[in-house]
Structure 1
Amino acid sequence: MVKIFIDPGHGGSDSGASGNGLQEKHVTLQIALALRTILLDEYQNVSVQLSRTSDQTVSLTQRTNAANSWGADFFLSIHINAGGGTGFESYIYPGVGAPTTTYRDRIHEEILKAVDFRDRGKKTADFHVLRETVMPALLTENGFVDNVNDANKLKSSAFIQSLARGHANGLARAFNLSKKTASHYKVQIGAFQEKNNADSLAAQAEAKGFDAIVIYRDGLYKVQIGAFSSKENAEALVQQAKSAGFDAFIYQE
């Protein structure tokens, strides 16, 4: 079992970077939740823990202590940049060697394959979350909120999903994760020709506690709130969604 600890940067009273109508703490959480869904739904023998699952204040020490106590195999801290630049970059602690460098290289490459971001390079820094973790650790900086072009991408649910997919593909390469072979029962609450309508419904679902993502497939923007190998689990989520006022149904693929 590979244990991945995902750390959505900032949260609660610490908003992180802001600009162009975005706050870092919200975007990092969106990426982290989408990444968790991909890993748990699509891969075998992987366990995931998050430093936070909502907009809450969590200290740096609490984050690294939680990962260390859990015995994580890898610590992944997700951030959004600011300061006048553009693009994607990743950080590891200075002086570390393999396997951290190997993991970093594979994740960095897969993220840039998945999204249209300028490659700002593979860097090192004495960040707390890289220094105080006892396992290999990586921090990713996914675009700049104070750059209009980057910010517009980060406002897109489909782009957030692609960022999460890139992180997942990199982790799968780094840790040789195997895909699940079972059928997936997916729970959908809407499909639209206009992306804005899908984003609006996804926001409504997230406000009611569902992990909603927007996926473009078959010419439509579809709002999905879960995917399961067990039909019973999917049916349970459908009932929860219907109780919350959504027109939910299951489709299989």
Structure 2
Amino acid sequence: MPLPEPRTDDNSTADLTGVIRARRRQVWRRRLQLIGAVAGVLVIAAVLWFSPLLALDKVNVKGSKLVDQDKISESVLGSDGGTPLPRVRPGAVEKAVLEEFPRAKEASVHYAGPRSLNITITDRDPVLAITTSDGYQLFDDEAVDLGTVKKAPKGVTVLEESAGSPDQKTVSAVIRFMAGLRPSLRSDLASIHAKDEKNLAGVIDTGEAKAKVAFGDSTSASLKMRTALQLAADGRTEIDVSVPSVPVTN
């Protein structure tokens, strides 16, 4: 007796095929949606990248007393004005500002709306004022010329004339000495003068003690200043700390 032939379920096969096709359509639908979203983002990015609607036309500058803020604004607009804001790189603007305006120590640039930038300037701090015929020429601890003012700023040590205007080596030695002092020590040095780069001297004035001090060269500035202040506090009025480990007093 012949065996019965296997039974084929045509309906089950058709259902499985339909499910596979539906899943394929769903996968392709999602892929097309993703492609469309990416294309949309690229179109928007292209519009923002090239659109004159976002062209830089305003630069707000604040924080500086040593640099003309209007000149900074004019400079940035001169180089980047009309450029769509997404193409303006804050880091590049900061670098350009510091190169063109060396009296600025730091420049912080941020986007401020669709067509403008905000720039905050941190000025260099003067540590030395040199007497001139026009007033006082200011320098920071990196020997950057900060310009001339009529009156020396409060807390800035004045390099007084010592047999004529000091040469560049002497000025550099004084600035190195000042740069080696912490602000708290620097503020107690009322004035300084120099015969040459190896013979620096000054007057310390803490409000409670005052003394004339010979510092010698520009090395070990903080140690020399601390030693002089201790001796001045003990009532010494003439102090030589050229060799700080062996100070000489009168």
- Please indicate, yes or no, whether the TM-score normalized by the shorter chain is above 0.5: no
More RCO (CA 8 Å, sep 6+): 1
Give the alignment's TM-score, normalised by structure 1. Answer: 0.20
Q: Which has the larger radius of gyration?
A: 2
Give the alignment's TM-score, normalised by structure 2. Answer: 0.20
